[in-house]
Amino acid sequence: MALAISLSHATASSFNGEVKFLSSASQLKGNYPFNLPSKNANFTKQLVIYAKRLSGLEEALRIRRERELRSSTTAKRRPPLRRGRVSPRLPVPDDIPKPPYVGSRELPDIASEYQIHDAEGIARMRAACELAARVVDYAGTLVRPSVTTNEIDKAVHQMIIDAGAYPSPLGYGGFPKSVCTSVNECMCHGIPDSRQLQDGDIINIDVTVYLNGYHGDTSKTFFCGDVSESIKRLVKVTEECLERGIAVCKDGALFRKIGKRISEHAEKFGYGVVDRFVGHGIGTVFHSEPLIYHHRNDKSGSMVEGQTFTIEPILTLGSTDCVTWEDNWTTLTADGSPAAQFEHTILITKTGAEILTKY
């Protein structure tokens, strides 16, 4: 379950490429936004040519992205997402242990401590994360036209409590359901309701469970029926971005490498990387430091062996700007373009990262 951050905390670099100077006779040793010395006229000419090539590439990506956006929104004349009826929250047996935030409508503070585990803690994290992985895969089998997200919520809720666990989203800051279901242009935190899934929809199902005092958190984006090729590509690339972000993780690695690697891959396809929502530390506490930025950033800090956190990039086919409904949870792309997300909880090891939300 992604955390929302203030945009003032997101320190993204605006520089998205490598500068190459084509003249071996001259070197630039400062910022010269407009004029170069006249004696370097040949150098100036070559630099302009390079700039045209770079802008041409950007223009080609922009045109491709706009075409895909038009095809995704017009192929089946998909109407904008509308809120359905939200049913009452489901009960949890009294004998199932509950996180400390249950019973309060206040959003808990983000814990400042990293969550680093001993052998027993790692074993409990593995158990919670494996359960979350099994639940999200089961939820994915329910995705088909005419099924409501409320029906998915009921099935997820039952599977979690049958395992003796608590559905972590339920009651977190007043969230009314046991799972997040984000359809089409919904970036994240969609509240399950009476809306029926339609042929051609995509849906992200975000599952977190609280088992034996530890949270396990994961999400996947699923296809509903016949989905357009442009949206299938968006979903595929989003999952690849998650995989590339995980690949840079190991003891001592810098957190900012995650956002760099994700952004590099997303930009190859002209997709936007949402900077409003971040990954987070997880363990006995649902949300803690470190905050994991998925876009280019200058975040300080490095990973530590035994640490657990989530990586959960959201990519869009159009704008990365967002709007949030009056429920204070459901967040959509501002332009109505599709969004996709994938998430894993990982454990940092000496030589890499173990994906805990697999089985």
State yes or no: 344 annotated in a binding site: no
Instruction: Give the model confidence (pLDDT) of 187-237 as tens digits.
Output: 999 999 999 999 999 999 999 999 999 999 999 999 999 999 999 999 999
265 marked as binding residue: no
Domains in the chain, number: 1
Share of the chain above pLDDT 90, in %: 78
C-alpha to C-alpha distance for 17 and 337, rounded to whole angstroms: 26
16-26 pLDDT, tens digit each = 333 333 233 33
- In a domain, residue 179? The reply is yes
To the question of whether residue 312 is assigned a binding role by annotation, the answer is: yes
Residue appearing with tokens 């009960």: 91
Q: How many CB atoms lie within 10 A of CB 178?
A: 29
Contact 277, 324 (CB under 8 A): no
Which two structure tokens, joined as six digits, stand for 155?
């099935």
Q: Give the global pTM.
A: 0.82
pLDDT given at position 6: 58
264 assigned to some structural domain: yes
201 carries a ligand binding annotation: no
Is 335 one of the annotated binding-site residues? no
- Domain extent at residue 188: 116-355
Inside any domain, residue 14:
no
Is 239 assigned a ligand-binding role in the annotation? no
Per-residue pLDDT tens for 50-99? Answer: 334 445 555 556 666 666 666 554 445 689 999 999 999 999 999 999 99
Q: For residue 155, is it within any domain?
A: yes
Q: Is residue 23 part of a domain?
A: no
Burial track 137-163 (b if 16+ CB lie within 10 A, e otherwise): bebeebbeeeebbbebbbbbbebbbeb
Mean pLDDT confidence for 267-294: 98
pLDDT at residue 294 in the model? 98
The burial class, CB within 10 Å (0-12 / 13-18 / 19+), for 107 is: middle
The answer to whether the annotation marks 326 as part of a ligand binding site is: no
Note whether residue 178 is domain-resident: yes
> E strand or H helix at 346, and its extent?
strand 344-348
Q: Which of these, 162, 215, 156, 165, lies nearest to 356 by C-alpha position?
A: 215
Examine residue 274 and state whether it is found in any structural domain, yes or no. yes
Q: What CATH number is associated with residue 187?
A: 3.90.230.10
- The answer to whether residue 142 is domain-embedded is yes
